[in-house]
Amino acid sequence: MNCNIIKDLLPSYIDGICSEDTAKIVEDHLEHCEECKTCVNSMQRQTAYVQQNPKEVEKAIAPFKKINKKRRIQVITAIVMTFLMTFFITTVGYLVYQDVGVVHDFFSPKVTAIVDVEDDSEEWQSLNFNDKNYLIYDRVFWKKSIVNAGSDSESGNQSDRDILLRVKDVNGKVIVDEIQVKSGKSVKLDGLKKNEKYFFEIKAPQGRYFINAI
């Protein structure tokens, strides 16, 4: 049999974990091959040295164990520090986001229009957001949604009233036509572009309405 194959089998042969048939093949080869016999003798001496001198072997590998232990400590420390830094940054960022109005308004823009519908004449009523009769989606954080936040009835009580909404561009062209927005619900206005002026109108029963653009 080829010497390279026998040499691959020698570790198992020396440790006594190969099958009887394999051991017989190795032994038959060793009877006629001096090179492999020398190789197996060398491996047996090394194994015997390790078995006879466990303290010396342990002493030799001790520095490597210390290195591995130190490395493990470094890795664990790095993981813990990364977690703490991430937690700290996330917590501080959230607190800043909640408490600093400018930051909150930038990342979660919202404007509110309050409109009084005087009668049930079925006429369209314009919405004024922050005293402007138009709205510009000037940053990417706008969700481009309209929320019917509720209404006050003529008696002064809070009531659930649906509205009809439409949106026009600067040329008066209707971009979004007669979308129903239920009380307490929102609708997403797909197709509206960034940095364009849009004019919003509602049609609703008599009452006061609170409309949020987010």
Q: Are 48 and 78 in the same domain?
A: no
Domain boundary among 43, 71, 101: 101
State the DSSP code for 192.
P
Averaged pLDDT, 17-22? 86
Confidence of residue 141 (pLDDT cuts 50, 70, 90): confident
Q: Residue 11 has what pLDDT?
A: 85
Q: Are 46 and 69 in the same domain?
A: no
Q: Are 182 and 117 in the same domain?
A: yes
Q: Are 117 and 209 in the same domain?
A: yes
Q: Are 121 and 26 in the same domain?
A: no
SS3 174: strand
Helix residue ranges, H only, the chain: 3-15, 20-30, 34-52, 54-99, 101-107
CATH number at residue 130: 2.60.120
Number of domains in the chain: 3
pLDDT in tens, 190-208: 889 999 999 999 999 888 9
Q: Residue 61 has what pLDDT?
A: 61
Q: Are 47 and 62 in the same domain?
A: no
Q: Are 123 and 197 in the same domain?
A: yes
Mean pLDDT of the chain: 82
The Cα–Cα gap between 135 and 127 comes to: 9
Q: Are 129 and 183 in the same domain?
A: yes
Q: Are 205 and 155 in the same domain?
A: yes
Q: Residue 62 has what pLDDT?
A: 66
Are the CB atoms for 165 and 178 separated by under 8 Å? Answer: yes
- For residue 68, what are the domain limits? 58-101
Q: To the nearest whole percent, how much of the chain has pLDDT over 90?
A: 33
pLDDT in tens, 103-140: 556 678 899 999 998 887 688 999 999 889 999 998 88
The Cα–Cα gap between 199 and 176 comes to: 10
Q: Are 70 and 97 in the same domain?
A: yes
The whole-model pTM stands at 0.50
Averaged pLDDT, 69-74? 76
Confidence of residue 164 (pLDDT cuts 50, 70, 90): very high
Q: Is 66 a residue whose pLDDT tops 80? A: no
Q: Are 17 and 43 in the same domain?
A: yes
Q: Is 47 a residue whose pLDDT tops 90? A: no
Q: Residue 87 has what pLDDT?
A: 84
Q: Are 150 and 187 in the same domain?
A: yes
